[in-house]
Structure 1
């Protein structure tokens, strides 16, 4: 984030301001040459204007915007040269990690961060995800009896289509 250029995104928007779009377009060919996978984290400033309020869950818009912002940056850098498989992960952070030293409501928190992960570390991390997903029963902090009860509740409450 460049203080002189201001926030990366207008309030309530996932569209990059022109400076940052141009910056990412120029940066993408450089990123494509690096031996790293990329994690893109989207952030918001936590401010909710009256036109953005969700009465059921007021903070939800910040989660949605931060994810949309990460996706916007992914689209720009992939379109301009970064291979799709170089993007490892998109993360929506909401308003949870303001820039250190700034007030949470600062517009500069409307940003994305790019984290470069060495390919061997990314490979090990992805193997760990695969291992946990495929090893069957994994150790969980939730007791299996509670998990079984939750599954049973879900089956009991499921919506069924009316006949015909």
Structure 2
């Protein structure tokens, strides 16, 4: 099991602090590993192999000029979700690096945004190093505000 997945499971199952506090602790620790992620203050809600979800709180620090969540903040959230998914899912004998992102903005981000990253188990077993991760950002009312693919380059560890 990866360190990220192990930390998630530990943080969210400690009876003394409870899952809610554990998720906060994990989210803070994850954002410190890649400090740029801290700019969106991600709150992870789901982390398991092939799926990760986090919430970007709608606050002034991530607003654009019209008061909605900025497009780059959305991309930052999608990349954080993808990174957590990749770390939780990748086989121990492989490594990954992002190689591209394609997104479409489909609606205004007028609330907190849930960023979701998903893969299928077969993708990680393939010999093809190009691995597309499906990413979506969703408003509180269920409206998709951003969707796309983040492409990973997955290769054997040397």
TM-score (norm 2): 0.32
**Structure number with higher strand proportion:** 2
Kindly name which structure, 1 or 2, has the bigger radius of gyration based on alpha carbons: 1
TM-score (norm 1): 0.32
**Structure number with higher helix proportion:** 1
